Amino acid sequence: MVDKQKIESILLNQEFSEFEWINPETIVVAHWVRIKCIFGCSDYGLGTCPPNTPSVEDCSSFFKEYKNGVIIRLRKFADKDKYPSDWSRNVTNKLLETERQIFLQGHQKTFLLNQTCCGICKDCSGNRKDCKDKKNSRPSPEAFAVDVYQTARNVGMEINVVSENPSEINRYAFILID
């Protein structure tokens, strides 16, 4: 049984105040997201990105194994051409600690989809096999073919394409819990 109050307390203690509970079966998985990873993302091929991730079909099946999850909205005003790597690394570490604390509450299936491509190490090895921190590396929702735009909108969270620069960047992380 998921004690939502305990998990919400963990989220708030990590300063994640913008979140919504979600049934992971309602996460929108789409082939177009994978295609955008392949043709349009400079991180394609890195350790937690396609092709080092399950197929779109397997990702869709994966979400059906969960009954509870949280989608977390993260905001940062930044120049998108100078991605705030230090901020992102700090957020990733807090998300990993949140995942660990939820796991320690007895939720052995807890799994984080990070708010961005892994980014834990300043010098990424560039592939899963040579990853220096396999224990903590996590894929982004997009690496699991998640249509973050539609999924966030479906739970009432605001999300838009960033058309001005600099501007507020919105990132979304998912923590699956059972």
Those residues whose C-beta lies under 8 Å from the C-beta of residue 117, and which sit 6 or more positions away, are 43, 46, 48, 49, 139, 140, 143
Per residue in 41-73, pLDDT (tens digit) is 988 988 888 998 999 999 999 999 999 999 999
Reduced to 3 states (helix: H, G, I; strand: E, B; else coil), residue 176 is strand
Q: What percent of the chain has pLDDT over 90?
A: 72
Sorted by where each begins, the domain ranges of the chain are 4-177
Which residues face 174 on adjacent strands? Answer: 71, 113
The H or E element that residue 73 is part of is strand 68-78
- pTM reported for the whole predicted model: 0.94
